[in-house]
Homo-oligomer: A and B are copies of this chain.
């Protein structure tokens, strides 16, 4: 069985071998740059691991897994234009390094490249894989649209936030795992359970990200703490703090979210203090556990021997106990 690190190794090796294209360089250099910046390679590694539950031969899953990772990086590239984000993984974003038009067009070409790798799925699994891939790809766009809508909304309900992160983040993780399972020749029931395993894992993963953004250790987390707080991002933490606090505490929180000029560290400290008063760190951890339990319930129902599932169970623990 390939564990997460071995699966990532397979993916990283395959990435080195692929040819993204050369000319026109204005189109292909930004793609090579975006893919070289790295990242966790979580989705393609999960596709390999899911395939590996059902077969020792994971070669057939490699190209579709690369397609999923290229697609994921494409969404980051276009999201960064829409969010006007200058930095991604410690490096300038494509639109910041080049310009918006370059980022739009290179992103488009990247999505087509993703499709080319998905299309290398063995033909007997191709229609099923395309169904999953195109559906979750569209849902990722829906999630991004809701995320942008929320920026303009005064109030976001918790359930709407959870649906947004399900669409924007969780379904692609579920889809990656399901695609791996399909290519491993899993039954429909097993593939569906693995999809829901990934979807719930993805929800836990995103809530963990929300938590780390406020309560992580910046040295370990790899980026500055409190970015969501400064931007008033309506995360699970802020939404629940707004729902929980009352009186002066609520007045203070609203003062900070409306403030136009402030010292960043002062705002971060003050809002974190209010988060603590609302006990949202605990609440978020509870919710993460809930999603994790749901994920494991679905994994439980997958009809392969228990010892094969251990690697995925360990992965769940490490992803949601992570500090970066």
- The answer to whether A148 touches B26, judged by C-beta atoms less than 8 angstroms apart, is yes
Chain B residue at smallest Cβ distance from A143: B24
Segment of A5-13, A130-138, A245-253, A258-266 in the binding face = A130-138
- The answer to whether B104 touches A131, judged by C-beta atoms less than 8 angstroms apart, is no
* CA A322 to CA B108, docked complex, whole Å: 32
Q: Tell me if A82 counts as interface (CB < 8 A to partner B).
A: yes
- The answer to whether B134 touches A130, judged by C-beta atoms less than 8 angstroms apart, is no
The dominant DSSP class at the A interface is: helix
Total copies of this chain within the assembly: 2
Interface residues of A in 10-30 (CB under 8 A from B): 21, 23-24, 26-27
Most buried by B among A127, A134, A145: A145
CB distance from A72 to the nearest CB of B (A): 13
Q: A145 and B104 in contact (CB under 8 A), knowing A116-B134, A119-B127, A127-B126? A: no
Chain B residue at smallest Cβ distance from A113: B138
- The answer to whether B145 touches A119, judged by C-beta atoms less than 8 angstroms apart, is no
Query: Which A residues have a C-beta under 8 Å from some C-beta of B?
Result: 21, 23-24, 26-27, 78, 81-82, 100-101, 104-105, 107-109, 111-113, 115-116, 119, 123, 126-127, 130-131, 134-135, 137-138, 141-142, 144-146, 148-149
Assuming A78-B105, A111-B112, A119-B131, what are 20 further A-B pairs, CB within 8 angstroms?
A26-B148, A26-B149, A27-B142, A81-B104, A101-B148, A105-B144, A107-B108, A108-B108, A108-B141, A109-B141, A111-B111, A112-B141, A115-B115, A115-B130, A116-B138, A119-B134, A123-B123, A123-B126, A123-B127, A126-B126
